[in-house]
Amino acid sequence: MRIKELDVFRGFAALAVVLYHYTTMYNKMCNVSSSWELPYGWLGVPVFFILSGFVIYLTVDKSKSAIDFLKKRFIRLYPTYWLCLLITLCIEYFSGMFLADLTWKDILMNFTMFQQFFNLRHVDGAYWSLLPELLFYGLMAFLMKIKKVRSYYLYNAILLIIGIIHLVFPLPIIGKILSIHYILLFMIGIAFYRIYNKMNTKWDYVFIIFNYIVGTKLYFNAQEHHSISNVFSYFSLALIICLYYLFVKGCFSFLAKFRVLIFFGNISYALYLIHQNIGYIIINNLEDFTGRNMAMFIALGISVILASLITFQVEPRIKPIVKKLLYNNNN
């Protein structure tokens, strides 16, 4: 079941992240300045994390077991990821950019999505957010296995306690490896799912507030690549949470009319995976001829075309094959 309002959220977040990378992050990487900046485009990432927490319960509800849940997540993530990874590797190879910094161990481990867990380099910088997703899926599968997936207050309270302990006594295994700051953002999404489906009590709102307070403090403490230690950043994430609240209360039904953003929402996963290094390569090779702004829009256009082809032409052909292989092996 697709919720069009969430597709609009995805589309908006995807565009924000792409333009953030093509402007602010590219400028920092090349030590240049330009008339185009989107310094708060990174807020698209917490939008995605909260949204992932929301939609994961849709998958949980449709899964027969923890293994079935993990298979569904594998089919959703890995075929598209592998294709985008191969395309990125090919373009990096022929361009001569980025690949020189990678070892064969880095490249091979990237196919697992667990390279960050072993402190190895990413083939594309955008891949950093995949590990928190996988760890969250692992947590949900574990809770399904022990039949505690519905005990939201219990495991959210445990995660909050771990987060508070990490604030006082920082431990690398909790911060960098277990990504507790991201997991608390996922928990906000789960609470909103419960409210959306009228499964909640007043305690869900309490947990949203505490997840926000602890999660954002941990989130901002963990970030090093952009300037976020200011009141506006905290306010912005609070605003995102308010927007999700308005969504679950039915205030955003009109968003279903925004077909362009729904389109970007549909291609958001492939676009996120394909855009960063390929976009940097395109901008770097074209900006001297076309100007920086035109090079950026060409990079955006090529990334959107690639993501559209992957989403609408390749995925529908690959995923049924992967699904058949996974579920037939069960018989």
DSSP 199-256: ---HHHHHHHHHHHHHHHHHHHHH--SS---SHHHHHHHHHHHHHHHHHHTTTTGGGG
Q: Cβ distance 21 to 27 under 8 Å? A: no
Whether the per-residue pLDDT at 310 is higher than 80: the answer is yes
pLDDT for position 120: 94
**In whole angstroms, what is the distance from residue 120 CA to residue 126 CA?**
14
Distances (CA, A) of 145 to 67, 149, 150, 203, 291: 9, 8, 12, 25, 55
Percentage of the chain surpassing pLDDT 90? 71
Number of Cβ within a 10 Å radius of residue 102: 17
**In whole angstroms, what is the distance from residue 98 CA to residue 252 CA?**
41
| SS3 assignment, position 7 | helix
Whether the per-residue pLDDT at 32 is higher than 90: the answer is no
- In the numeric block, the tokens 């009319």 are attached to 257
In this structure, the dihedral spanned by the alpha carbons of residues 137, 164, 13 and 132, taken in order and rounded to 10 degrees, is -30
Q: Cβ distance 39 to 19 under 8 Å? A: no
More confident residue, 270 or 329: 270
Q: What's the mean pLDDT in 294-311?
A: 97
DSSP 30-85: HT---S---TTGGGHHHHHHHHHHHHHHHHHHH-SSHHHHHHHHHHHHHHHHHHHH
Q: Which domain holds residue 304?
A: 4-328
- Worst-scoring range by mean pLDDT, 18-32, 165-179, 280-294, 316-330? 165-179
pLDDT for position 225: 45
Whether the per-residue pLDDT at 112 is higher than 90: the answer is yes
Percentage of the chain surpassing pLDDT 70? 94
CA nearest 30: which of 301, 298, 274, 292?
Answer: 292
pLDDT for position 328: 83
Average pLDDT, the chain: 90
Distances (CA, A) of 94 to 8, 17, 127, 290: 35, 26, 21, 21
Whether the per-residue pLDDT at 330 is higher than 80: the answer is no
- Worst-scoring range by mean pLDDT, 14-18, 131-135, 169-173, 193-197? 169-173
pLDDT digits (tens, 9 = 90+) for 127-180: 999 999 999 999 999 999 999 999 999 999 999 999 998 888 887 776 666 678
Instruction: Indicate the pTM of the whole model.
Output: 0.92
Q: Cβ distance 131 to 137 under 8 Å? A: no
Contacts of 99 (CB under 8 A, 6+ apart): 89, 92, 93
pLDDT digits (tens, 9 = 90+) for 36-93: 788 888 889 999 999 999 999 888 988 999 999 999 999 999 999 999 999 999 999 9
More confident residue, 305 or 175: 305
Q: Cβ distance 160 to 180 under 8 Å? A: no
pLDDT for position 169: 84
**Cβ-based burial of 328 (10 A; exposed 0-12, middle 13-18, buried ≥19):** exposed
pLDDT for position 307: 98
Number of Cβ within a 10 Å radius of residue 29: 13
- Which amino acid is present at 103? T
Whether the per-residue pLDDT at 312 is higher than 90: the answer is yes
Number of domains observed in the structure of the chain: 1
pLDDT digits (tens, 9 = 90+) for 229-275: 567 778 888 999 999 999 999 999 998 888 999 999 999 999 999 99
